[in-house]
Chain A
Amino acid sequence: MQHVIDLSAVTQTFVSSDGKPVTALEGVDLHLRRHEFVSLIGPSGCGKSTILRLISGLLRPTSGTVSIFGMPVTEPRDEIGIVFQKPTLLPWLSVLDNITFPMRHKYGRVDGKDQARARELLAMIGLGDFGHKRPDELSGGMQQRVSIARSLLHDPDILLMDEPFSALDALTRDEMSFELLRIWGERPKTVVFVTHSIQEALLLSDRIVVMSARPGRVADIIDVPLARPRSLATLADPVFSRMANDIRMQVFSRAPA
């Protein structure tokens, strides 16, 4: 079966500020299937974000290969949408113009089709009436929804999300998780989701990649057998809490005390 994203024997070293080489990733093999939702979880410094930046083409691996649809990644590509930890909207643009910003930024213009699509996305994230507001008039959760809509504008096959809900309060987080599942259900994509939250990873993912730190390695890949569509009931499933415990044990046993 053809994979959408392939990382083969990827090693990434950086030169730290004091001049010493630091190994961020070592011998990472990851193969992601089409329309699969995969979470990366692990302690800080295990190279989760580095993996996203390698897939996005913002970074080239020191050794090993990163491929998308079987082709090596040499520069950023159009098939990818990125959502960051913070919404990073442009404060001088309206919500609608923020969603169409990637087009304006890439091609210098926004056509009617993009506008229509932006309105459609805005309705999908439940902010249909907020198109002409400025970002600072929106709550943190709303802003993050807008940044998700921005990443979906060009209908990417791959969505990279770097702890997108970690800056939100707990209630908004849960709400956003279900929102994301709904969006993903409507427009299936291959999602790579970096998180610190075991619950979040379980609720969202088909597979969870558990990583260990220094150097960053894949410690385990866990299939999540929970039925879809997932809902609040999923959180009460005994399988959910058992798996949450197992993963917690695994993460803690590897993390340095």
Chain B
Amino acid sequence: MSAFVHRHASVCVFLLVLILWEAACRLLHVPEYILPAPSQIWLAAGELGPARWFEHLSATLEAALAGYVVAIALALPLAVGITRSPLLSRIVMPWLVVIQSTPIVAVAPIIVVTLGAGTLPRVVITTMIAFFPLVVSTALGLASVPPELVELSRSLRATTARQYWQIRMPYAVPYVFSALKVSITLAVVGAVVAEFVAAEKGLGYLILYTTSSFKVPVAFAALTLLVLSSLALYGLVQLAHRRLFPWSQGRHA
């Protein structure tokens, strides 16, 4: 028994918290619009039905993944550009810092007004939040190559393209993946923020809508689903890293 508890300590504590939560709600008669018990959340989730859940979940994931992909497509070439050209770096870096320092929640309504209430503003908001760690970390990775290898490359008179392709980019892989993991969870945050501002479906929208009509158990269920999908996406990125680049495991961050 004690060995079992030791091995699964985090799961045991989690279950314990759930039980205490349920017990507290029942014994203290907490109204469900203040804090619903886990059982009430479970029931409310069942009432909404799988089809509706799927609809909301896929809307959120769509925005998150679209923004994520756009962020990657922009960030990686930009990171190469920054490491190649000090001038470009001097021009771009202040802008990146400005974008990163802008609270995304504050800009979101403005973006929606400017771009309309379609998919576009959601993707833009998600991209903005997922983009920064990718650029910074990739640029750092590309520059982390031991100077000796750059000298080796120069002494062979290899082309710059090959220096990037065969030395710098593989060296940056662990850095890129640590940023990819951070960014995927940020992308989910971005999608939810966008839905808070303007949407007619999505888990963020569902939380906003149900809390405004005191259906708090559904909001809790939506929150749980958000956390689970965020964890699943994180796990997928980690799995991709492990499968595609096994040599880079545990080398860096």
Chain A interface residues toward B at CB < 8 A: 53, 56-58, 75-76, 80, 82, 84-86, 88, 90-92, 101-102, 104-106, 108, 134, 136
Question: Contact: B245 with A92, CB < 8 Å?
Answer: yes
Interface class of chain A by DSSP: loop
Option from B146, B149, B157 in Cβ contact (under 8 Å) with A106: B157
Question: Contact: B148 with A134, CB < 8 Å?
Answer: no
Interface-facing stretch out of B31-39, B40-48, B116-124, B162-170: B162-170
B-side interface residues, number (CB < 8 Å): 21
B94-109 interface with A by 8 A CB criterion: none
Question: Contact: B156 with A88, CB < 8 Å?
Answer: no
B14 contacts partner chain A, Cβ-Cβ < 8 Å:
no
Minimal beta-carbon separation of A32 from chain B (angstroms): 18
Report the bound CA distance from A256 to B245 in whole Å: 49
Option from A75, A82, A90, A136 in Cβ contact (under 8 Å) with B170: A90
Question: Contact: A75 with B157, CB < 8 Å?
Answer: yes
17 contacts between A and B (CB under 8 A): A58-B154, A58-B155, A76-B154, A80-B155, A84-B151, A88-B149, A91-B248, A91-B251, A92-B170, A92-B245, A101-B166, A102-B152, A105-B163, A105-B167, A106-B158, A134-B247, A136-B247
Report the bound CA distance from A108 to B158 in whole Å: 9
Minimal beta-carbon separation of B240 from chain A (angstroms): 16
Question: Contact: A82 with B151, CB < 8 Å?
Answer: yes
Chain A residues within 8 Å of B83, by CB:
none
Chain B residues within 8 Å of A106, by CB:
156-158
Question: Contact: B155 with A76, CB < 8 Å?
Answer: yes
How does the 8 Å CB contact mask read for B163-205 relative to A, with 1 for contact and 0 for none?
A: 1001100100100000000000000000000000000000000
Report the bound CA distance from A41 to B218 in whole Å: 76
Report the bound CA distance from A91 to B249 in whole Å: 11
Chain A residues within 8 Å of B173, by CB:
92
Question: Contact: A76 with B156, CB < 8 Å?
Answer: yes
Query: Nearest 3 pairs between A and B by C-beta?
Result: A84-B148, A76-B155, A88-B148
Question: Contact: B153 with A56, CB < 8 Å?
Answer: no
Question: Contact: A92 with B247, CB < 8 Å?
Answer: yes
Minimal beta-carbon separation of A81 from chain B (angstroms): 9
